[in-house]
Amino acid sequence: MCSTKISDEKLSYWMYTDKYEVRKYVEKTIGAKYLNHVIGLYDSFQEIDFDSLPDAFALKATHGSSYNIIVTDKEKLDRKAAKDLIIFLIPSGIYFLSDTAMMVLIMMWNQKMERN
């Protein structure tokens, strides 16, 4: 990002703020082994089949920062509260240039990740 201060070449910022799109860059640059497994990418909260999800997962809006719901036990997940939060977060995206902007991403989650 700092290189844009001294260069006429501007980076495509949306690619770095979109949690799904940036995966392509990470895989190409340092490898897929550094990426969490993606369970699904959804256009809306209503598309998510919670019964098919593992017991623990991360529910995220693809855009922005800190838009995450970490689920350590899906039986304890308040789906209405999660839905309300995701619906609130989706329109708040700053960069709308990516094809996957404002989508819901579900990734694998485990207890080891919480310690990092």
pLDDT at residue 18, as a whole number = 76
3-state secondary structure the chain: CHHHHCCCCCCCHHHHHCCCCHHHHHHHHCCHHHCCCEEEEECCHHHCCHHHCCCCEEEEECCCCCCEEEECCHHHCCHHHHHHHHHHHHHHCCCCCCCCCCCEEEEECCHHHHHC
pLDDT at residue 59, as a whole number = 87
Examine the pLDDT at 29 and tell me if it is beyond 70: yes
For the segment 91-97, the average pLDDT, to the nearest whole number, is 47
pLDDT at residue 14, as a whole number = 59
Q: What percentage of the chain carries pLDDT values higher than 70?
A: 62
pTM of the model: 0.69
Per-residue pLDDT tens over the stretch 9-25: 555 665 667 788 888 88
Per-residue pLDDT tens over the stretch 50-68: 999 999 998 887 776 677 8
pLDDT at residue 50, as a whole number = 92
